[in-house]
Structure 1
């Protein structure tokens, strides 16, 4: 049987990303997707999400045997799923943003500041003197307005579990439905014209 993987971000995945970005050592800078993925596995090793429903569809001739994700039952099952689905959908919700970190101007004391440019807003901001090894790289962080509003600590309700699959021991709808009574025979309407046999011969 084939498995249909969830192609949208789940509440469990978004909750984990919010918590990780909010508790980052430098939340104003953010983390790389790889750092988020690693922390998700270390800090939430027992987190699970409803498994996809198997289907009985037969693979086509062009079917490719795709390897399973590294974390089969984890809300953040792979780095690809985190980057292309979870973070992108959270950006559409205005919860996170992708920023570019680069070296900023020099200070009179001879130290260098960091410059952060938001990909969505296009504006740059200069941070204070912060030591960071992540320079000239794209990072993800909570949007400042989202973090300041207190919504970063919210927890999305999990999705309802999938309905049970029908098996040989599970009665189908046709077996549990009320019996259907046979229809009454249809009565043909009587014709007002006399039949040829009833006409008397002259």
Structure 2
């Protein structure tokens, strides 16, 4: 029986290679897709934080559209596209809220502007006066005081059920491997380009 590579280790190897080669400003950007409360798919770019216990971590407000949609339907996907290595990774999995202690850690790593935006803004909600909102944020930052994590700011741990790795080829004969959890272990299928 052929031993297959652990897809989490393969992800780490591919991600590290891209980080070594890339010049993009936000190399951790990943497209998060959710099922909308109106049953339409929703996709947006978020920042991938790290892998913990073979799960992908992202953060953000729980009362944002993504937070509400994940609360309503925990089936999500992540899509990584890396230009330098010409590779794509698609992850499908189940999202659960991270523990408060971990949310505190990620919030503490944010800069003052990001913290102030998270404290004051209601992500995705309509605003009547954008300048007034911006002034409020700048005033908060200028106070140079500690900004505590709002209770509605946290993150999600995405436990993968499927991970597809694709390496693009000039011939268009792309190399695609699909890993799926079956009976608590990873199985791999080579799939057509």
TM score, norm. by length of structure 1: 0.23
Which has the larger share of strand? 2
- Higher relative CO (CA 8 A, sep ≥ 6), structure 1 or 2? 1
TM score, norm. by length of structure 2: 0.23
